[in-house]
Amino acid sequence: MQDNTHSEPSALNLTPSASIKACLFDLDGVLVDTAVYHYKAWKRLANTMGFDFTEEQNEQLKGVSRVESLNKILAWGSVEKTDAEKEELATLKNSWYVDMITKMTPAEVLPGTVDFLTEIHKAGYKLALGSASKNSGIILEKTNLAHFFDEIVDGNMVTKSKPDPEVFLKGAELLGFKPDECVVFEDAVAGVEAAKRGGMKAIGIGEKSVLTQADVVVSGLDKLTVKDLENL
């Protein structure tokens, strides 16, 4: 069936690709762009300690846990803190971040996301979220994306940060599929590495020159259709 209307998903198959049966998505930079909120919160925290934090440095924190991000920022600022102080700082940063993301709306979902999720869901693929964020539930609720996902694995459920594959392996396990039956959608180098280390295919969202380990790289989900999954 061919639908020529611009807003509707493209032609669908009734069953998933023989090789790929499940799709695991990172959140930040793939479905929505919350990097700006992380950046503002980390910058505010750095400024309270007397140093600045750049957008270039923020890029290095993609896919990295809150604790590891804080450790990097403290190192950049040549600041030493006790474990107790680090916990207080991480909590403070998160409170600022949560305050910002609770004001998010569906308008902040990245282009093509809803159409692509709708298309692959109707085609029979199982979907899971695999994010380091501990606030993924809030973001999915505010952006009206939660209903697409069969399982949600986030920073509250795993102990190891990407590039460790734990978050994606957990997602595959909950969906009931083997790693080689899964494809991961990631915008971070650490996330793509995690997918490959976990034995999964990886579709990079970003630049080919950066996401060199990915099987396919596109600028966004608006460039993908279900046919691309069948060709992996």
Strands 22-25 vs 126-130: parallel, antiparallel or unpaired: parallel
Q: Report angle CA 203, 62, 98 to the nearest 5 degrees.
A: 120
Q: At what angle do helices 35-48 and 66-76 cross, to 10 degrees?
A: 50
Sequence-separated (6 or more) residues with CB below 8 Å from residue 123: 12, 13, 14, 15, 16, 226
* Under 8 Å between Cβ of 142 and 169: no
Going through the chain in order, the beta strands assigned E by DSSP cover 22-25, 126-130, 151-153, 182-186, 201-205, 216-218
* Under 8 Å between Cβ of 199 and 182: no
- For the annotated catalytic residues, the residue numbers are 26, 28
Half-sphere exposure of 225 (CA within 13 A, CB side): 7
Half-sphere exposure of 117 (CA within 13 A, CB side): 23
